[in-house]
């Protein structure tokens, strides 16, 4: 999970062009959590994400955590989350890490017969699965590029075959 956040969290938005960022933000809202590990201050899991290093409001120092981590926000109002929540990572945000939130949900529901474990797991691993699909697509692209290169080189050497 941390690797996915480090590699793919580029936007504090649920409707950006980056699907993985959108999923992370929805995950923060749905599970009332923030990052992978507990956020205890301005130094947190987001520090190594592209959102903080190259592209987002964290990098511009407008935010230390995504607005989706603020307590009580929904997908409809997270954009208007108060700066006192996301601007300083001081208070009014969900400090619980999402890994802990998943563990709590699993433990909370362990003894209930009517629990739909697939739903709990799918929410928790949706991001992980998205990363796997991206990795597989990348491998196929590399393979296709290599094959195209080999065909082109073979035609240069022996143009009649």
pLDDT tens profile 42-80: 788 988 999 888 876 776 667 788 889 888 889 999 888
Q: What pLDDT does residue 161 have? A: 55
Q: How long, in residues, is the chain?
A: 161
Q: What is the pTM of this model?
A: 0.64
Contact of 33 with 82, CB cutoff 8 Å? no
Q: How far apart are CA 30 and CA 81, in angstroms?
A: 16
Q: What pLDDT does residue 119 have? A: 63
Read off the DSSP letter of residue 32: T
Q: What pLDDT does residue 26 have? A: 93
Per the structure block, which two tokens stand in for 90?
């001081």
Nearest to 94 by CA among 40, 58, 139: 40
Q: What pLDDT does residue 95 have? A: 85
Q: What pLDDT does residue 97 have? A: 92
Rounded to 5 degrees, φ, ψ at 18 are -90, 105
Which portions of the chain are predicted below pLDDT 50? none
Q: What pLDDT does residue 149 have? A: 57
Could you report how far apart the first and last alpha carbons of the chain are, in Å?
49
Q: What pLDDT does residue 127 have? A: 64
Given the structure tokens 């409001």, which residue do they identify?
A: 57
Q: What pLDDT does residue 92 have? A: 78
């Amino acid at each position: 999970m941390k690797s996915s956040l480090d590699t793919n969290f580029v936007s504090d938005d649920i409707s950006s062009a980056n699907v993985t960022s959108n999923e992370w933000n929805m995950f923060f809202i749905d599970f009332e959590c923030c990052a992978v590990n507990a956020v205890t201050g301005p130094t947190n899991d987001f520090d190594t994400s592209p959102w903080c290093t190259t592209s987002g409001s964290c990098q511009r120092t407008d935010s230390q955590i995504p607005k989706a981590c603020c307590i009580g926000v929904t997908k409809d109002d997270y954009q208007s989350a108060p700066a006192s929540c996301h601007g300083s990572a001081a208070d009014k945000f969900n400090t619980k890490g999402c890994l802990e939130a998943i563990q709590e949900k699993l433990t909370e529901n362990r003894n209930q017969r009517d629990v739909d474990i697939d739903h709990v797991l799918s929410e928790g691993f949706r991001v992980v699965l998205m990363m796997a699909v991206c990795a597989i697509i990348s491998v196929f692209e590399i393979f296709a590029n290599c094959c195209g290169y080999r065909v082109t080189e073979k035609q240069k050497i022996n143009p009649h075959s």
